[in-house]
Amino acid sequence: MTQSVQTKSGLSAYREVVAKYPDVSPLVILKADLQRRGVTYSQAAFGHFDPARHLVQARSIFVSVGEKPDETPTMASAGLILRDGTTVISGPRLNTEGLFVVDSIDGKLVITDGDDIIEEVDLWEKPDYVSKTTSSGKPMWQIATPRPQRLDINPYSYCHFWDDGHGCKFCNISWNYHKEHKANNKPIRLDPRDVSETVAEAIRQPGRFTNIMLTGGSIFSGDELFADELDLYIEILQAIGENFSTRRFPSQLISSSFAPHQLARLYEETGVLTYTSDIEVLNEEKFNWICPGKTAKLGYREWKRRLVEAVGIFGRGRVNTGIVGGVETATPHGFASEDDALAATLEEADDLASQGVSTVHCVWGPTPGSVFFKQKVPSLEYYVRLSQGLDQIRRNHGLNVDMDNYRLCGNHPDSDLSRI
């Protein structure tokens, strides 16, 4: 059994983990801890915020920032950039170790923990398109959310697994949609014309974007399960494709688990390049508890089977699945031991990799509006070991992670590690 430093907290845990894992970049470790513990901003830090350079407004299916253009942002732009170009998506969390604070010290923007300065950091800069509107009058920042090198588009902002309260217990998509719809009349779906025009404007900026990602909530309606969701993605992807002269364009779809014949239609009728369907938890028993809606509609084994089937359509290296790393330790039915949780997760990830499906993880941060909001996350060391394990599994099976790497996404410590 691995001797863990999980009994430590705060800065002491970070420093001990960095010392214990010298082969892992300290910035990869810091990224995981920033996502795990959460980040807030001092008033002095807002002095570095320039509305002409940084993102005031951003919409996603999980959080919205600065819906009014003149309000002070609560998360200064959408994220942070570390010295090596690592991007960090993180906001306030409920935890027992305290939040990291982004502060201004000696004229520099830095990450602090108490009185200690950890790292100098920068803010995400806004792209040119966000201040413009579509021909229908929609602000383009409401259509596509920019990361440093990726456009995020959410065609459908509500997940119907929540219709009967059976959504994934870590997810706040339903809560966020209802909050933003009530406050700002946020629409449930995007118009394909607005999306096409926004993408056209975004890619006018040379060198800014390398990928376009689409994801949204699950839709059950249609002639078969997920049929209307599939139609919506095809319509949106075809609209985006109007802006490219090539058959395919740099893109990732993260969707519900489509059947093989649905995937074949998606691949043939659009220019989408890669496919992801997030299984969320790599253990059937924990999946059944944490994702009751997915269990009822499809089931863990069928979700895995469809991922493997997708490789035959998109090819090796172009299919993956995402997990919410650490959620398998949630109480009361999760793994009580981090060693057991890690072993079970990596065993399933290895099985998928042997069949051509890569697994990437995000860091579980209990968020407002989720069932698991007040849960305690695993130790920092757990995330380092999980990242190492997933990276090694991909290497063992000859899988690269270029479809979801630090430039195309930036939300996965394990794919950050894979570039080193």
Instruction: Work out whether the CA dihedral 279, 345, 380, 86 comes out positive or negative.
Output: negative
CA distance 144 to 194: 10
- pLDDT tens, position by position, 218-260: 999 999 999 999 999 999 999 999 999 999 999 999 999 999 9
DSSP code, position 63: -
Encode pLDDT of 291-304 as tens digits.
999 999 999 999 99
Residue 370 corresponds to which amino acid? S
Q: What is the pLDDT of residue 1?
A: 40
CA distance 171 to 312: 30
Q: Which tens digits make up the pLDDT trace of 340-393? A: 999 999 999 999 999 999 999 999 989 889 999 999 999 999 999 999 999 999
Among 123, 140, 171, the domain-final residue is 123
308: helix, coil or strand?
Answer: helix
Domain boundary residue, one of 54, 88, 123 = 123
Is there a single domain that holds both residue 232 and residue 297?
yes
Residue 5 forms part of a structural domain: no
> Hey, what's the torsion of the CAs at 288, 294, 300, 303, to 10 degrees?
-170
- What is the reported pLDDT for 51? 83
**Pairwise CA distance, residues 329 & 366, whole Å:** 12
Q: Is the pLDDT of residue 175 over 90?
A: yes
Q: Against a cut of 0.85, is the pTM above it?
A: yes
11 belongs to a structural domain: no
Token readout for 282 is 């790599």
15 domain residue, yes or no: no
Cβ-contact 210, 146 below 8 angstroms:
no
Whether 294 contacts 287, CB under 8 Å: yes
Runs of H (alpha helix) within 270-336: 284-290, 292-297, 300-314
What are 242's two structure tokens? 């109007």
**Domain that residue 186 falls in:** 128-418
Q: Is 371 exposed, middle or buried (0-12, 13-18, 19+ CB in 10 A)?
A: middle
| pLDDT at residue 70 is higher than 60 | no
CB 228 within 8 A of CB 237: no
Show which of 90, 123, 156 is a domain's final residue. 123
Task: Compute the distance between CA of residue 375 and CA of residue 269 in angstroms, rounded to an integer.
Answer: 42
CATH number of the domain within which 305 lies: 3.20.20.70
Detail the DSSP E strand segments found in 326-372: 358-363
Residues in the chain: 420
Structure tokens at 278: 């997030």
* Co-location of 98 and 239 in the same domain: no
Confidence at residue 348, expressed as pLDDT on a 0 to 100 scale: 98
Residue 303 in any domain: the answer is yes
Please say if the pLDDT value at position 79 is more than 90: no
Do 85 and 136 lie in one domain? The reply is no
Look at strands 108-113 and 100-105 and give their pairing: antiparallel
Residue 13 resides in a domain: no
Q: Which residues of 385-395 are buried (b: 16+ CB within 10 A; e: fewer)?
A: bbbbbbbebbe
Question: What number of other Cβ atoms are within 10 A of residue 7's Cβ?
Answer: 8
